[in-house]
Structure 1
Amino acid sequence: MKKLLTLTVTICTWLAIYSQNTYVFLGSFNRDKTTEGIYVYQLDPNSGNLSKITTVKNILNPSYLTVSPNGKYIFACTESKTKNAGSVSSFEFKPEDKALVYINSQKSGGENPVYLTVHKNGKWLVNGNYTEGSVSVYPISENGTIQPFVQSFQFTEGSIHPERQDRSHIHSTVFSPDFDYLFLPDLGADKIRTYHFDSGKTEPLQAAEKPFTPTPLGSGPRHFTFHPNGKFAYCIDELTGTVDVYTYKNGQLNSIQRINTHSEKYKDNFESSDIHISPDGQYLYASNRGSENNIAIFSIHDDGKLETVGYQSTKGKHPRVFAIDPTGNFLIATNAVSGDVVVFKRNFKTGLLKKVGKKLKIKNVSCVQIKKY
């Protein structure tokens, strides 16, 4: 009887796992609306191979993507790196039809949109514009339509780097774990800007008690993430190749550590880019472009501080964005310059990565998001 019960539980577990599908959404700088810009693949939970589901044309430079909490809608930064332009666009994902269907677009409120995020209630979209250093907030209708922005804040001050910090450059827009605050790493001003977010108001961005957290001069804060326990936050600095570690509480950050993302043999030419934490909260990963083209791996101690574990080549050039799947089994990196997508298997005990599956060739691939359905 016990063997039969065990077999039944095993079968039920197997069915639960394999009745779910994991989809991978890839954005790119396609430079030409007549060519494919967004790609959708399905991730094999055994081999790590990616199988093409569909692609989208007639959209220019969908360089960064985000997925709605219910997985029904995909939002993209579009017309990125096009002079005097920029937009955000919405698509409906229909897995049963293997289709990604365009819904609408709105002006980004600034030149060169680079990052967007959706509130947990699915009713608000927030976009960061790099070149003009601004943030825009949009209501989202129930059918996934993006409404015109209701708020747009422009920032102007820069910092000490003569070429990269002549003015403000918002590089990401990240909600706090409770979605009551919004954090905006400003690469140009060496600040992590903070706003209170009241989703019940028609203009949800409100001044925070502490409007920003300064980062070291010349650091260039880029991407930002929270630990699953909500007690710690981590910011990757593009210009100095470092990760800043903070304790977090009620919209306020307190610095506790700064650690290099690069190995000792690399002394300059830092271009650190993306940062993510494994779902179990045990390991942090940070990507380095420039001459390194790798992912730095850190273990996370109970006090939130980091310890370097090692480095993994991304098997390509310029790993702009990477993502970890919801199970924590796989990490997928996008190499923008070499134009390829590489899947790595994560070792849960050591945090180390091993390449699996087949490398995809996608010209100017720039972003990846992963969602289980």
Structure 2
Amino acid sequence: MRIFSLISTVITLILLSSCNTGPVLVSTGARHQEFQVYFGTYTQEHDGPSSKSLGIYRSKFDSETGTLTQPRLAAEIESPSFLALHPSKQFLYAVTESKEGTVSSFSIGSSGSLTKINTKSTNGSAPCDLEVNPTGQMLVVANYHSGSTIAYAITEDGSLSNPTTFLNHEGSSVHKRQKSSHAHSVDFTPSSGHVIVSDLGTDKVMTMEVNPTTATIRLSSEISLAPGSGPRHFAFHPSGKFGYSLGELASTVTVMSHVSGKLKTIETLSTLPDGFVGHNTTAEIAVHSSGRFMYVSNRGHDSIAVFSVDTTSGRLSLTEVISSGGIRPRNFSIDPTGRYMLVAHRDSDNVVVFTIDQQTGVLYPTGSEIEIDAPVCVQFLELTS
């Protein structure tokens, strides 16, 4: 009896030990799903190696195996550096990041194919981000080089109207890249009543009041971050109570409280490990759908910083900083199941797949990756059965 008890104890300890050597993946019992993944790219040299890309590419992602099919060209278009989906999942929008910026609308076929609907000027230079409001009535675009924000109405067929609002931003700050305004991202609040504009050039995060009926926006309030921060992207907590501003130039993330479009700073943390002294800029930020983890990509250190989130206060704790598996991880996206992350590397021409531990948020490389020239945006679309 004692021998049997001893054997049982040993087996239990071995099983418990093995459970802690890898990621905990299954937490929801969700059915097997397949997703279309669209990749935005640079089609020409853009502060980096030359590219042979022709535009937007697409691949299928299997949420059971965590693998991607080989990418294929979905639409030929110049430097579609950022993509946005319509909430109906019927349309996709892409900026052309060029001197004379444009934004294009595409219809999505049943197989994931793209057909261009129309193209509009952004009235600015180097549009770098865009987002559709949650009701699908309007689209907002940020022009980086010219420092402006522009809005359009979206018609029933997915096409874009002529601009409904154009806002030119002014100002500067202390860094050599902050001689003028550089609007870098647009993010609608969870209630969709406001849109947040991050201005890298002025160190300001601006709140715009939204009128979805007229598809117009107007400045409501703004908050200034530490000089030289360079706010690039912004992410909301799923609760809507907190927001996170990514400082590209300072490699920081600033935690903010959020009430009806009004933001207030809580704390600022570094995205880098202690002791790192090389050059680095941050690129992307995302909060996990559980609200318990947050992620940031570092370019230079070439890593993903993983934070745990206090869901009561919104405050962050750095969990780990892990190699991203390539050079200059400009963008990443968490799949809709919350179990995987795809990281796009502009300068090493690859997209790397990670699993996400559902208990800790820690990332584990799966060993799966695909090659794409200069990938800079990842956008998931669930395929209909």
CA distance in 2 between counterparts of 1:270 and 1:338 reads 17
CA distance in 1 between counterparts of 2:118 and 2:215 reads 22
CA distance in 2 between counterparts of 1:322 and 1:155 reads 28
- Asked if the contact 2:187–2:197 (Cα under 8 Å) also holds between the matched residues in 1, the reply is yes
2:282 pairs, out of 272, 276, 280, with: 272
1:67 pairs, out of 73, 85, 89, with: 85
Q: Which residue of 2 aligns with 1:45?
A: 63
Task: Please give the TM-score of this superposition, normalised by the length of structure 2.
Answer: 0.87
Q: Does 1:321 align with 2:331?
A: yes
Alpha-carbon shift at residue 100 of structure 1 (Å): 1.3
2:103 pairs, out of 88, 105, 113, with: 88
Q: Does 1:100 align with 2:110?
A: no
CA distance in 1 between counterparts of 2:53 and 2:262 reads 44
Q: Does 1:197 align with 2:210?
A: yes
- Asked if the contact 1:54–1:100 (Cα under 8 Å) also holds between the matched residues in 2, the reply is no
Q: Which residue of 1 aligns with 2:10?
A: none
- Asked if the contact 1:289–1:318 (Cα under 8 Å) also holds between the matched residues in 2, the reply is yes
2:135 pairs, out of 111, 121, 126, with: 121
CA distance in 2 between counterparts of 1:53 and 1:160 reads 42
CA distance in 2 between counterparts of 1:218 and 1:253 reads 19
Superposition pairs for residues 6-17 of structure 1, below 5 Å? 17=31
Q: Which residue of 1 aligns with 2:7?
A: none
Q: Which residue of 1 aligns with 2:351?
A: 341
CA distance in 1 between counterparts of 2:223 and 2:306 reads 25
Gaps of 5+ in 2: 1-27, 46-50
Q: Which residue of 2 aligns with 1:130?
A: 144
Alpha-carbon shift at residue 61 of structure 1 (Å): 0.5
Question: Which structure carries more relative contact order (alpha carbon 8 Å, separation 6+)?
Answer: 2
CA distance in 2 between counterparts of 1:138 and 1:330 reads 33
CA distance in 2 between counterparts of 1:52 and 1:128 reads 31
Alpha-carbon shift at residue 361 of structure 1 (Å): 1.0
CA distance in 2 between counterparts of 1:121 and 1:45 reads 27
Q: Does 1:249 align with 2:259?
A: yes
- Asked if the contact 2:57–2:75 (Cα under 8 Å) also holds between the matched residues in 1, the reply is no
- Asked if the contact 1:35–1:58 (Cα under 8 Å) also holds between the matched residues in 2, the reply is no
CA distance in 2 between counterparts of 1:319 and 1:128 reads 21
Alpha-carbon shift at residue 72 of structure 1 (Å): 1.1
- Structure 1 segments of 4 or more deviating over 6 A? none
Gaps of 5+ in 1: 1-12
Counterpart secondary structure, 1:150: strand
1:28 pairs, out of 32, 41, 45, with: 41
Q: Does 1:213 align with 2:223?
A: yes
Q: Deviations over 1:145-173 (max 9, x none)?
A: 11121111111211111x20000001100
CA distance in 1 between counterparts of 2:144 and 2:180 reads 10
- Asked if the contact 1:298–1:309 (Cα under 8 Å) also holds between the matched residues in 2, the reply is yes
Q: Deviations over 1:2-50 (max 9, x none)?
A: xxxxxxxxxxx98x823x4312110000129995311111111122111
Q: Which residue of 1 aligns with 2:18?
A: none
Q: Does 1:295 align with 2:322?
A: no
Task: Please give the TM-score of this superposition, normalised by the length of structure 1.
Answer: 0.90
Q: What letter is aligned with 1:229?
A: S
- Asked if the contact 1:54–1:99 (Cα under 8 Å) also holds between the matched residues in 2, the reply is no
Q: Which residue of 2 aligns with 1:225?
A: 235
- Aligned residues: percent identity? 34
Counterpart secondary structure, 2:76: coil
CA distance in 2 between counterparts of 1:317 and 1:38 reads 20
Alpha-carbon shift at residue 54 of structure 1 (Å): 4.2
Q: What letter is aligned with 1:43?
A: F
Q: What letter is aligned with 2:296?
A: A
Q: Which residue of 2 aligns with 1:178?
A: 191
CA distance in 2 between counterparts of 1:93 and 1:71 reads 8
CA distance in 2 between counterparts of 1:195 and 1:108 reads 18
Q: Deviations over 1:175-234 (max 9, x none)?
A: 11100011101000000011111112x2521331xx211100011001001000111100
Q: What letter is aligned with 2:308?
A: S
- Asked if the contact 1:159–1:190 (Cα under 8 Å) also holds between the matched residues in 2, the reply is yes
Q: Which residue of 2 aligns with 1:8?
A: none
- Asked if the contact 1:105–1:146 (Cα under 8 Å) also holds between the matched residues in 2, the reply is yes
- Asked if the contact 1:298–1:307 (Cα under 8 Å) also holds between the matched residues in 2, the reply is yes
Q: Which residue of 1 aligns with 2:166?
A: 152
Q: Does 1:282 align with 2:292?
A: yes
1:111 pairs, out of 121, 125, 128, with: 125
Q: Deviations over 1:69-88 (max 9, x none)?
A: 1211111011x1x33x1100
Counterpart secondary structure, 2:31: helix
Q: Deviations over 1:240-298 (max 9, x none)?
A: 100000111011111111100011122352301110011100100011002x0000000
Alpha-carbon shift at residue 58 of structure 1 (Å): 3.2
Q: Does 1:363 align with 2:373?
A: yes
CA distance in 2 between counterparts of 1:60 and 1:48 reads 30
Q: What letter is aligned with 1:296?
A: A
CA distance in 2 between counterparts of 1:34 and 1:323 reads 23
Q: What letter is aligned with 2:40?
A: G
Counterpart secondary structure, 1:285: strand
